A and B are shown apart, each in its own frame.
Chain A
Amino acid sequence: MLAHLWIVPLLPLLGSAINGLLGAKWPNKIVNLAAIGSTGLSFLSALEAAREFFGSGQAPFRKEFFTWMTAGNFRAGFDLQVDQLTVEMMLVVTGVGWLIHIYSTGYMAHEGGYYRFFSYLNLFMFFMLILVLAANYVLLFVGWEGVGLSSYLLIGFWFLKKSAADAGKKAFIVNRIGDFGFMLGMFLLFRAFGTLDFQTVFTKAGTWPAEPMGHFGTLTIAGLLLFMGAAGKSAQLPLYVWLPDAMEGPTPVSALIHAATMVTAGVYVVARSHVLFSHSPTAMLVVATVGCATAFFAATIGLVQTDIKKVLAYSTISQLGYMFLACGVGAFTAGIFHLMTHAFFKALLFLAAGSVIHALGGEQEMPKMGGLGKKIRWTYYTMLTATLAIAGVPVFAGFFSKDAILFAAFQSPTGGRILYAFGLLTALLTAFYMFRLIFLTFSGKPRYDEKNVHVHESPWSMLGPLVFLAVLSVIGGWFALPTFYQGPDYFAIFLGPVFGARETAEAGARAAAHSLELLLAGVAVVAATIGFVVAYWLYVSRPRKADQIAQSMKRAYTVLLNKYYVDELYAAAVVRPLLWLSTNVFWKATDVAGIDGTVNGIAHGTATIGDGVRHSQSGNTRSYAVWVVAGAIIVLAAIFLWPSASKIAVGLVH
């Protein structure tokens, strides 16, 4: 399978093409066959590729399938590679993607455009696989832009709804800003290394000296530009604004693209380019700071949101912040570890939320839910599992990855304590808003219209993936379990060859500071417990207390409810000036007055002259006779009276 690695991404593309081109009139079952079949086969081939990879003693595999373009000594090819990082990403993408495909067959069963939905979803899988399998920046960028395109198409899936169409555009435009930086970063890398091939770039960059803190050399700037792209794709400050709006898309899309896979592409790129970042403490500090700030910032917004999907969206932004924090303090393994566990539990949270929405016939507002725990038990238990995982309760997956990140942040020499403090605070907030979500949705008295809303458990096509993901949310972090009795962290060892010496050193430090790690893990658990207790107190034992607190801190509450007015700020600072500039300068002045004015002016002038001259064509035959004679006289006069003309005329006569 490794020799024919192209099959893995190509299968979803095939499924997308089949459904997109032929599926319009097909019944759902045949569309399902093409969509689930292609992604399922893709998952199986990914598994087979992984098996061969392990069979070959985990030797990094790289193959150039064909040359895509050459210009001078620049070559960009369809080169795919498999190393430990790729295996992990590839399996997460195809595995979680496949589960979400199955879930979608239940969730989207009654929606119009069924074939279109699966065609887009398969297209997304194709581009995401290209992104993670690519062996050079150019091919990675193809996947990068492709997932952006599929994201746009799927956010605007219900394009007749204006808010959905707008959200799609917003996602695309905000991502363009990041992509601009990403492209500049690629150009800079090409200038510095003469190639964009991962292997060559990283080998060459590895020999360069590290750039000291505050020094803006090539690697620092390239790293920062790449991180700009990553911040756009992975919804970090200040480019996170598109992700909450992206919840306009169907819920499985939010689960697959805006939680589990696409938004983690930024983390993947930073981890993949770890050589560049490791050589630049400045870039690392920026990554860590932005990640930490985003984690905290998004978590505070998540505290007060009432839309169940919005809470999860801000939670996603916050968790992505954790991943960048990990990368920024050099713990790439921890970042990727959290990426994986997050893919499991956040996909599960979204899918369970989708199941709740499905049960209530489309209701997304938590104030209109409540008391669902007994009616939709499977959904409740699976969602509770995911909540325990994200809150960092021991044994569940999120605990291990979050613990690894906080530990790495604590140990970081540059601003480690501050990063750790905010990370810990975020963990507390996370536990609070997640349990708030659970309590508002599943416990208490029903606040929905019990007469008209018929609450029903979702079909097994939806519950199956939920259960499966719930299992993964529990066991997904057990790779790191042995660390708690001073054993090895199997995940770190697995990814070790990718991240090289740096991680080995870190693992050594980790073993040495074992008691410290246990202490920090304990502190994190205490923080999560505080979050849980406060949520329980506010939303279960004293249901009215929450409103009272909101009343007493009205100003802070309003600011949070309005998401710090960031959208409004961007509208005032960026969107409206641009709109004004486009409307008045580019549209009305340049286009209408300048370009159109010139073209229309010429046409108008011609028309005016023609209108004047047409009177000579009177239609009166005799006037034409006069014109003929007058013309003859003028020619004769010119010949005889014009000095030089007469010479020519005489010359002709002679």
Chain B
Amino acid sequence: MVPTNYYVILSAILFGLGVFAFIFKRNVITIFMSIELMLNAVNLAFVAFSQALGKLDGQVFVLFVIVVAAAEAAVGLGIIILIARNRQTLNVERVDLLKL
């Protein structure tokens, strides 16, 4: 039986990586993937706590998160395709029409 701590620490590391990539990467697709990574890190924590506490609530939450993530992926990818078409780039630094 793997202790819950390990799951939580793994989850924290994955979340931290996601945050790190979310901030520092320039490619929109990479940023998008880092968001997915954070979501899944949270999912992992949910499942781990669900297991540790012996309740199903966490796992139900995970299902919801997956559904929302799928919807978000559909919308997000649509936006990314539009950006790529209109701006001929995927670099967020250059998507700056609202800049002062």
Contact = CB atoms under 8 A, between A and B. Distances in A.
A51 B93 CA distance: 100
B23 A619 contact: no
Interface in A584-624: 614-615, 617-622
Contacts of B22: 625, 629
A626 interface: yes
Interface string A612-654: 0011011111100110010000000000000000000000000
Contacts of A622: 23, 26, 92-93
B95 interface: yes
Contact of A625 (B31, B97, B98, B99): B31
B97 A619 contact: yes
Contacts of A621: 92, 95-96
B27 to A, nearest CB: 11
A625 B19 CA distance: 9
A: contact size bracket = 10 to 19
Contacts of B97: 619
B100 interface: yes
A620 B23 contact: no
Nearest to B96: A619
Given A614-B100, A625-B31, A620 B93 contact: yes
Contacts of A620: 92-93, 96, 99
B50 to A, nearest CB: 15
Q: Chain A contact residues: over half helix, strand or loop, or mixed?
A: helix
Given A625-B22, A626-B23, A629-B19, A619 B31 contact: no
A619 B99 CA distance: 4
Contact of B100 (A615, A625, A626, A629): A615
A625 B100 CA distance: 17
Given A625-B31, A629-B23, A618 B99 contact: yes
Interface string B12-37: 00000001001100100001000000
Nearest to A614: B100
Contacts of A626: 23
Contacts, number: 29
A617 B98 CA distance: 9
Interface string A420-458: 000000000000000000000000000000000000000
A567 B22 CA distance: 83
Nearest to B97: A619
Contacts of B98: 617, 619
B94 to A, nearest CB: 10
Contacts of A617: 98, 100
Contacts of B100: 614-615, 617-619
Of A617, A619, A621, A629, chain B has the most CB atoms within 10 Å of the CB of A621
Contacts of A614: 100
A626 B24 CA distance: 9
A614 B99 CA distance: 11
Interface string A273-293: 000000000000000000000
A622 B99 CA distance: 12
A389 B67 CA distance: 109
Nearest to B35: A625
Nearest to B24: A622
Interface string A457-483: 000000000000000000000000000
A397 to B, nearest CB: 88
Contacts of B26: 622
Contacts of B95: 621
B22 to A, nearest CB: 5
Nearest to B92: A621
A618 B26 CA distance: 16
Contacts of B31: 625
Contacts of A618: 99-100
Nearest to B22: A625
B38 to A, nearest CB: 10
B81 to A, nearest CB: 16
Interface in A348-397: none
A619 B96 CA distance: 5
B29 to A, nearest CB: 13
A625 B97 CA distance: 17
A618 B99 CA distance: 5
Interface in B53-100: 92-93, 95-100
A622 B19 CA distance: 12
A148 B69 CA distance: 80
Contacts of B93: 620, 622
Contacts of A629: 19, 22-23
A29 B83 CA distance: 78
A607 B6 CA distance: 52
A120 to B, nearest CB: 62
Contacts of B19: 629
A624 to B, nearest CB: 10
A617 B96 CA distance: 11
A486 to B, nearest CB: 105
A621 B23 CA distance: 10
B96 A625 contact: no
A620 B99 CA distance: 6
Nearest to B95: A621
Contacts of B23: 622, 625-626, 629
A449 B68 CA distance: 101
A625 B26 CA distance: 11
Nearest to B98: A619
B91 to A, nearest CB: 10
A617 B99 CA distance: 8
Nearest to B99: A619
A198 B13 CA distance: 98
A614 B97 CA distance: 15
A618 B92 CA distance: 13
A313 B87 CA distance: 86
Given A622-B26, A626-B23, A629-B23, 16 more contacts: A614-B100, A615-B100, A617-B100, A618-B100, A619-B98, A619-B99, A620-B92, A620-B93, A620-B99, A621-B95, A621-B96, A622-B23, A622-B92, A622-B93, A625-B23, A629-B22
Top-9 shortest CB links A-B: A619-B99, A619-B98, A621-B92, A619-B96, A625-B23, A625-B22, A622-B92, A620-B96, A629-B19
Interface of A: 614-615, 617-622, 625-626, 629
10 contacts: A614-B100, A618-B99, A618-B100, A619-B96, A621-B95, A622-B26, A622-B92, A622-B93, A625-B31, A629-B19
